[in-house]
Amino acid sequence: MLAIILGLTMSFAHHFRNKLVKNLRAEQNRLLSFSAGVSITYLFLEFLPYFSEGAARLGRNMFFFILLGFVLIHLAEKYIRLHFFRSKLRRELALEKAAVSFTYHFLVGVLLAGFARENPFEALLFFVPVFLHTTFSAVSLDVSKSQLVRLVLASSTFLGVVFSTFVFPEISEFTRFALIGFIIGFFSYTVIRNALPLGRKGAPSYMVVGVLSYVLFLLIIRSFI
């Protein structure tokens, strides 16, 4: 039940992100910096250590899946940029990012359901940074005029939760940690590429606040585990 609630919350955030971002345009860089601080903290203090514990049991070759996730999303973006004319670039790149976004959020939903079955607190630790990243850094849904297409894109996390909960609830430990590694590769690339404001953009103080806020949240959650 927790996974369903979190999956729906993520999908609602994804669906309404354009309106929210538009209303908070003046604070966009600060919110991106805060979200990046939270995401980076989760990645280094929780997600990678959690994966490493599984890799210690399954073998160091599991780290290949992190590389795979990182490289595939990079190659997908580079392919679009190198093989389409300038007049078509913006829309084709938006469609490619939408397809990658759907895949990423679907797999996030699968992992979210898995974490919720294992430990609700692990699900919450995973949910917060991904929720912030989806809300303030995700791909715009304006790539299509079709309401149905937008709805499907926004529902990707919830669809992943439903798939993992009702269609394919049991997966091997190897498959689970391979998926976690793949998501780490995706997540690290998208955070570095899209969430961290470059150059003079962004607000370093808000990133620090994001780091400290998530460290505090992590300590509070860990006190219950």
- Per-residue pLDDT tens digits for 123-174: 999 999 998 888 876 555 455 556 777 788 888 999 999 999 888 888 889 9
Asked whether the beta carbons of 186 and 69 are under 8 A apart, the reply is yes
**Do residues 93 and 115 lie in contact, with contact meaning Cβ atoms separated by under 8 Å?**
no
Under a CB-based contact definition with an 8 Å cutoff, are residues 182 and 10 in contact?
no
CB 99 within 8 A of CB 185: no
Contact between 38 and 211 under an 8 Å Cβ cutoff? The reply is yes
What three-state secondary structure class fits 225?
A: coil
pLDDT digit string (tens) for 63-94? 999 999 999 888 877 776 676 655 555 666 66
State residue 209's pLDDT score.
92
* pLDDT for residue 177 is more than 60: yes
Tokens of 42: 């989760």
Write out the two tokens for 30. 């600060």
Q: Average pLDDT in the 97-106 region? A: 82
Output the pTM of the full model: 0.84
> What tokens were used for 216?
């505090």
CA distance 31 to 54: 33
Q: What is the DSSP code (8-state) at residue 26?
A: G
- Measured distance between the N- and C-terminal CA atoms of the chain, rounded to whole angstroms: 19
28 pLDDT higher than 90: no
Q: In this predicted structure, what is the pLDDT of residue 198?
A: 62
pLDDT at 202 > cutoff 80: no
Residue 146 and residue 131: Cα distance in Å, rounded? Answer: 24
Nearest in space to 190 (alpha carbons), one of 117, 133, 145: 133
Neighbours of 145 (CB within 10 A): 7
Length of the chain: 225
Mean pLDDT of the chain: 82
